[in-house]
Amino acid sequence: YQPWVLLITDGEPTDEYQNAAQKVRKAAGDRKLSFYAIAVKDANITKLREIAPLDTPPLPLDGLKFKELFKWLSDSVKQTSRQKIGEQIELADFSGWKKKQA
């Protein structure tokens, strides 16, 4: 199984991030990891799009629904651990924590 990286952020980097972003995108593209950028509050989605793999755009958290986010994470990891190698992975539903787009 490939590792998961969950970045929970406001999208405002405090350090140089471009090199790390390239490495994340390459590793995700090579299927060496799954990367999820979780945007909190009024996150800088533009910056997060520079980091997140193209096929996994940033996911905005609805308010402070961290409990629901970590329940989703737990359910998704359980679901993934039951999959056979090569099977399509179906993640748990985001609706309990993901902000609905206007």
Residues of the chain where predicted confidence (pLDDT) is lower than 70: 1, 101-102
Query: Would you state the pLDDT for residue 23?
Result: 95
pLDDT of amino acid 94: 77
Within the chain, strands assigned E span 4-9, 34-39, 59-60
Q: Is the dihedral of CA 45, 101, 40, 74 positive or negative?
A: negative
**Residue-averaged pLDDT of the chain:** 89
Residues 32, 49: Cα–Cα separation, whole Å: 19
Beta bridge partners of 34: 4
Is 59:98 a contact under the CB 8 Å cutoff?
Answer: yes
Strand partners, 59: 38
Cα distance between residue 80 and residue 65, in whole Å: 22
pLDDT at residue number 47 = 93
pLDDT of residue 83: 77
Beta carbons within 10 angstroms of residue 50's beta carbon: 17
